[in-house]
Structure 1
Amino acid sequence: MTATIYYDSDANLELLKDKTIAILGYGSQGHAQAQNLRDSGCNVIIGQRPGSANYDLAVEHGFEPMSLADATSQGDLVNVLLPDEVQGDIYSNQIRDNLSPGNIIMCSHGFNVHFGQVEAPEGVDTLLVAPKGPGHLVR
C-alpha cells in the first residue's frame, strides 16, 4: 500500500477560520498539534489539568489553559490527546456532556473509540488523525 502524503497546498485552512479547536492534553502530541495549528492561523484553546508541568508548559507557550470541560464546551473541534488509560473515565465525566450537535471529536489513537470508551453523542462526528511519530517530531 502506497502512503498518501499531504502538503500545505492540499489543506484548505479557510474551513477552520471561524472554528475553535480545543486541544485536550498538552503532552507529547498536544503541545505539538496545538502549536502547529496556532502557527497555521487557527484559533486554539487548551484543556489541561492545573498544577501539572504540562499546564505550566502551555502557559510558557502563550496559551491560557482551562479545564477539560470548559475547553470542550468552547470548542467546535475537540481533539482528545490524553493518555489512553484515562480517556474513558475523563470522556464520561468531563467531555461527553459538554459536546454539542455539530461538534467534532477527534482522537489520535483509535483504541478507546474501538472499545466503546469514547462514543460520540447524536449529532457529533468522530475523526481519527493518527500522527506517525512522537510529538517532538510532529512539531
Structure 2
Amino acid sequence: LWKTTTGYELRAVGTNPDASEYGGISINKNIILAMVLSGALAGLGGATHTSGIQYQANQLFGFPNFGFDGITVALVAKSNPIGVIFSALLFGALNYSSAGLQVVGIPSQIASLIQGIVILFIAAEYGFKIIGAKISAKRKKEAVVNE
C-alpha cells in the first residue's frame, strides 16, 4: 500500500474518491481491486481456520464474535496494516488469557468488557473530532460576521 503505484491509488480512492477521479485514477477499478483483495484474504483466513485440527467446518461454530473482534482490531489500529498486526496480537492475548482468569475467580467476560471500553474510547475520540470541527466552523462563521 505504501510502496507501489497500485497501493497509492487504492489509498487515494479510499481517502477521497472525488479527488482521485479528478486526478485521473479509475475509481471503479480500484474499488473492485480492493474487494477482490479483501475477499481473497478473507478466503485464505477461512480456509486456514477450517483446516485446523479436525479438518471440519464445524469448528467455526465454536468461536463466536470473531467478526466483532476484527472490527475492534481495525478500530484500534486505525486501519493501518502494521497496526492491525499488533492490535490483533493484543486482543488475541486478551481473549486467550480471559479463560485462564476464571481460575482465580475473574469472569471470562472481562475480555469483552475491555473491548467494549476500547470501542467507546475510540468512538469518543471521533466524536470529539466532529464536535471540535463543528465548533471551529461556527467560530469562523461568527468571526466573519463580526468583521
Fold equivalence (TM over 0.5): no
Q: Which has the higher Rg, Structure 1 or Structure 2? A: 2
Q: Which has the higher contact order (CA 8 A, sep 6+)?
A: 1
- TM-score, scaled relative to structure 2: 0.18
Structure with a larger share of its residues in strand: 1
- TM-score, scaled relative to structure 1: 0.18
